[in-house]
Chain A
Amino acid sequence: MTGTVSCVQLRTPLSDEILPLKAGDCVELSGMVYTARDEAHIRMMEDGIPFPSRGAVIYHCGPVIKHGMVVAAGPTTSARMNEISGFLLDAGVRGLIGKGGMGKTVRDQIRGRGVYFAFTGGCAALASARMKLRDMYFKDLGMAEAIWAIELDHLPLVVGIDAHGNDIFSTVIDRAGSELRKYKETACSFGPCGKE
């Protein structure tokens, strides 16, 4: 598969080449990533990280797998992992992929060393067409919560939070908050113009 010319091409494991990336940049990522949701994070904190963590990329995803193939594998909501991601960055993880953005804790933890990538929520078929299943860990956690090692072929991502503390999600939501305050002053009620 050929990459999109305007997007930065990256391959895992990642290192300092991610530091110049800016929030809003388009990236195509290839190479191995490791899926992990809530249960896998908890398990890794207890039992250790079962894959090489230096330069690794975590994908917040609970895929559908059948006959050793990735059937569907879009991102899950990253915010659930807001308070349980620090140990991964401390162990050398350089990238997190998910949807919806992450909190201030992660923004501070990735500063100077990592990047949060946004992948379009719901795009599970686009994703699976660019994935090969390589390995799995913590099988007992079940399909959605286990760790799956997946090789990516040019997955299209956007830099959501960069290594300099710029966070596209928080910028957008701050602006939305001030729009809502303006709106509340002028909101039309469901009065005479409302439903009968």
Chain B
Amino acid sequence: MQNATSLRSALADAAFQAYLEAVIRLPPDVMRVIERAAAAETNPVARGEFANILVNLKEAERLGVPLCQDTGVPVVYLTVPPDLPFTQELYDAVADGIRRATEEVPLRPNVVHPLTRKNTGDNTGLGMPAVHVKPGDRLTVTVLPKGAGAENMSRIAMLLPSQKNQIESFIVETVLLAGGKPCPPVIVGVGIGGTFDSAAALAKEALLLPVDTMDEDEERVCSAINKLGIGPMGLGGNTTALAVKIQIAWCHTASLPVAVNVQCWANRHATVEVKR
């Protein structure tokens, strides 16, 4: 077992590596759904948008630069093994990695005070990075850089148990209201159940699930969204959503929270295991 200093630098290094990977290269499952949709698209303007997206992905890889200038705010998921004490050190180490990524990748400094709009310049601040911790077998760090264009279009509904039949239309309506703003074709993370806060957390975590497979419910909602015809960037086309991913949690007998976290086509995330 390592001492605290080397653990902190190893975790910081892993967070840095994960950020570097995430902002330059999309995960293979996300690449697959984009390529599949690009090949199937019939609208000429939409085909042009897909062509730009595919060239962009190649250029980001070739130049080693972020594929989007909105390198997001840092959303981080840690798994912590049983032998590792769960301390503030873990949060500090992740913040170290984010600061280094901001300087070296580089990332755009996006994190500001919500009211004064003061920018720290290093993508950290009170409550940022947003770190979520779960028990696991190994120490891993997953980063999900979340851009604002899509995040701003997310919604939550505290439905009533009798309004179960409104879940689907709430999700589809969210994508309609978003229009071209969230950089469609979108990936739609949905959390059903839990509480006001955990529904939203589930919706965001759903974005980490493989997007190249969907269950029956997810398929049904996804094709309802695609019937809207909003298309890439809101310019029209067959592909408005690349995938819908749904997670559930049990909830109060009187509640039915539904959270929809909208994600742009660049569903960036990467996981790195910390070497110990």
Seen from chain A, the residues whose Cβ lies within 8 Å of a Cβ on chain B are 24, 26, 61-64, 66, 71-74, 76-77, 79, 99-101, 118, 120-129, 142-144, 156, 158, 160, 168-169, 171-173, 175-177, 179-180, 183-184, 187-191, 193-195
Given contacts A123-B55, A172-B231, 4 further A-B contacts (CB under 8 A): A99-B181, A118-B180, A122-B265, A172-B235
For the complex, give the distance between the alpha carbons of A176 and B45 in Å.
17
For the complex, give the distance between the alpha carbons of A101 and B233 in Å.
9
Query: Looking at the complex, which one of B71, B109, B121, B233 makes contact with A100 (CB distance below 8 Å)?
Result: B233
Produce 1/0 per residue, B37-53, CB < 8 A to A.
00000000100110011
For the complex, give the distance between the alpha carbons of A126 and B266 in Å.
14
For the complex, give the distance between the alpha carbons of A73 and B69 in Å.
5
Assess whether B235 is in contact with A173, with CB atoms less than 8 Å apart: no
Assess whether A79 is in contact with B248, with CB atoms less than 8 Å apart: no
Chain B residues with CB under 8 A of A129: 59, 63
Produce 1/0 per residue, B221-253, CB < 8 A to A.
000100111111111100000000010100000
Query: Looking at the complex, which one of B70, B168, B173 makes contact with A189 (CB distance below 8 Å)?
Result: B168
For the complex, give the distance between the alpha carbons of A194 and B217 in Å.
6
User: Which of B52, B66, B119, B248 is most buried by chain A, counting CB atoms within 10 A of its CB?
Assistant: B52
Assess whether A100 is in contact with B66, with CB atoms less than 8 Å apart: no
Interface contacts (Cβ under 8 Å), in number, total 194
- Would you give 25 A-B contacts (Cβ < 8 Å), ordered by A? A71-B69, A72-B68, A74-B68, A74-B69, A74-B70, A79-B181, A99-B180, A100-B179, A101-B179, A101-B234, A121-B233, A122-B264, A123-B68, A124-B60, A124-B68, A169-B179, A169-B180, A172-B234, A175-B236, A176-B179, A176-B230, A188-B168, A190-B164, A194-B217, A195-B217
Residue of A nearest to B179 (CB): A173
Assess whether A168 is in contact with B164, with CB atoms less than 8 Å apart: no
For the complex, give the distance between the alpha carbons of A62 and B172 in Å.
30
Assess whether B233 is in contact with A120, with CB atoms less than 8 Å apart: yes
Chain B residues with CB under 8 A of A79: 181
Which chain B residues (166-220) contact chain A, with CB distance < 8 Å? 167-169, 172-173, 176, 179-181, 183, 192, 216-217, 220
Assess whether A26 is in contact with B48, with CB atoms less than 8 Å apart: yes
Assess whether A64 is in contact with B45, with CB atoms less than 8 Å apart: no
Chain A residues with CB under 8 A of B60: 124-125
Query: Looking at the complex, which one of B107, B176, B227, B234 makes contact with A177 (CB distance below 8 Å)?
Result: B176
Chain A residues with CB under 8 A of B248: 195
Assess whether B233 is in contact with A180, with CB atoms less than 8 Å apart: no
Take A158-B235, A175-B229 as given contacts and tell me if A144 and B224 are in contact as well, using a CB distance cutoff of 8 Å: no
Question: B189 to nearest A CB, angstroms?
Answer: 15
Which chain B residues (78-131) contact chain A, with CB distance < 8 Å? 106-110, 119, 121
Chain B residues with CB under 8 A of A193: 216-217, 220
Query: Looking at the complex, which one of A26, A63, A172 makes contact with B69 (CB distance below 8 Å)?
Result: A63
B56 within 8 A of A: yes
Assess whether B235 is in contact with A122, with CB atoms less than 8 Å apart: no
B27 within 8 A of A: no
